[in-house]
Chains A and B, each alone.
Chain A
Amino acid sequence: MATLRPILLVEDNPADVELTLAALNKTKLANEIVVARDGVEALDFIFAEGAFAERGGGHPAVVLLDLKLPKVDGLEVLERVKRHPKYRAIPIVMLTSSREESDIVRSYQFGVNSFVVKPVEFNQFFQAIRDLGVFWAVLNEPPPGDL
Chain B
Amino acid sequence: MSETMAPADLLDICAQEPIRIPGGIQPHGALLVLRPGDLRVLQASANAASLLGIDLELEQAPVLTDLAFVDSPFGTDIAAWAAGEEPLYFKVQPLDGRLFSVSAHRTAQGLILEFEPALDSDASGPTLYPALREFLERTETLPGVPALAEAVAGQVRRLTGFNRVLIYQFDPDWNGMVIAEDGDGTLPSYLDLRFPASDIPAQARELYLLNRLRMIASADYVPVPLVPALCPSDGAPLDMSLAVLRSVSPVHLEYMRNMGTAASMSISIVIGERLWGLISCHHAQEMTVGAQVRAACDFLGRIVAQQIDARERSAEMDERLRLHHLETELVAHLARAATFQSGLVERAPQWMGITNARGAAVLSEGVVLTAGITPPVDKVIELAEWLKSRKIEQTFATDCLSEHWDRGADLAEVASGILAVPISRLHASFIIWFRPEIVRTVTWGGDPRGDKALDAQGRLHPRRSFESWKQLVHNRSTPWREAEILSAADFRTAVINFVLQRAEERAQLSDELQRSNKELEAFSYSISHDLRAPFRHIAGYAQLLAEEEPNLKPLSHHYLDGITHAALSAGQLVDDLLRFSQLGRASLKTSRIDMAKVVEEVRHSLDTAEGERAIVWEIGEMPTCWGDPSLVRQALFNLVENALKYTRGRDPARICVFGAERDEDIVYTVADNGIGFDMAYAGKLFQVFQRLHRPEDFEGTGIGLALTKRIVDRHGGTVQASGAVQQGATFTFSLPKREKGKPRGNA
Contact = CB atoms under 8 A, between A and B. Distances in A.
Interface of A: 13, 15-16, 19, 22, 67-68, 96-101, 118-123, 125-126
B537 interface: yes
A121 B563 CA distance: 12
B536 A125 contact: yes
Nearest to A122: B543
Interface in B574-589: 575, 578-579, 582, 586
> Which of A16, A97, A99 gathers the greatest number of chain B CB atoms within 10 Å?
A97
Contacts of B542: 122
A16 B540 CA distance: 9
Contacts of B537: 15-16, 19
A19 B578 contact: no
Interface stretch (B216-224, B525-533, B668-676): B525-533
Given A98-B528, A101-B582, A19 B533 contact: no
A123 B546 CA distance: 12
A34 B480 CA distance: 91
Contacts of B564: 122
B115 interface: no
Interface stretch (B139-147, B372-380, B565-573): B565-573
B637 interface: no
Given A118-B533, A122-B542, 17 more contacts: A19-B544, A22-B544, A97-B529, A97-B532, A97-B533, A99-B528, A99-B575, A120-B568, A120-B575, A121-B568, A121-B571, A122-B540, A122-B543, A122-B544, A125-B536, A125-B540, A126-B543
Nearest to A26: B547
A120 B535 contact: yes
Contact of A19 (B529, B530, B540): B540
B52 interface: no
B592 to A, nearest CB: 22
B466 interface: no
Nearest to A101: B586
A107 to B, nearest CB: 14
B629 to A, nearest CB: 15
A32 B176 CA distance: 114
Contacts of A15: 533-534, 537, 540-541
B661 to A, nearest CB: 32
Nearest to B543: A122
Contact of A100 (B525, B535, B543, B571): B525
B499 to A, nearest CB: 39
Nearest to A15: B537
Contacts of B544: 19, 22, 122
A86 to B, nearest CB: 31
B539 interface: yes
B529 A120 contact: no
Contacts of B571: 120-121
27 contacts: A15-B541, A16-B536, A16-B537, A19-B540, A19-B544, A22-B540, A68-B529, A97-B528, A97-B529, A97-B533, A98-B529, A99-B575, A99-B579, A100-B525, A101-B582, A118-B536, A120-B535, A120-B567, A120-B572, A120-B575, A121-B571, A122-B539, A122-B542, A122-B564, A123-B543, A125-B536, A125-B540
Nearest to B578: A99
Contact of B536 (A22, A101, A120): A120
Contacts of A16: 533, 536-537
Nearest to B526: A68
Of the listed residues B525, B540, B544, B578, the one surrounded by the most CB atoms of chain A closer than 10 A to its CB is B540
B573 to A, nearest CB: 10
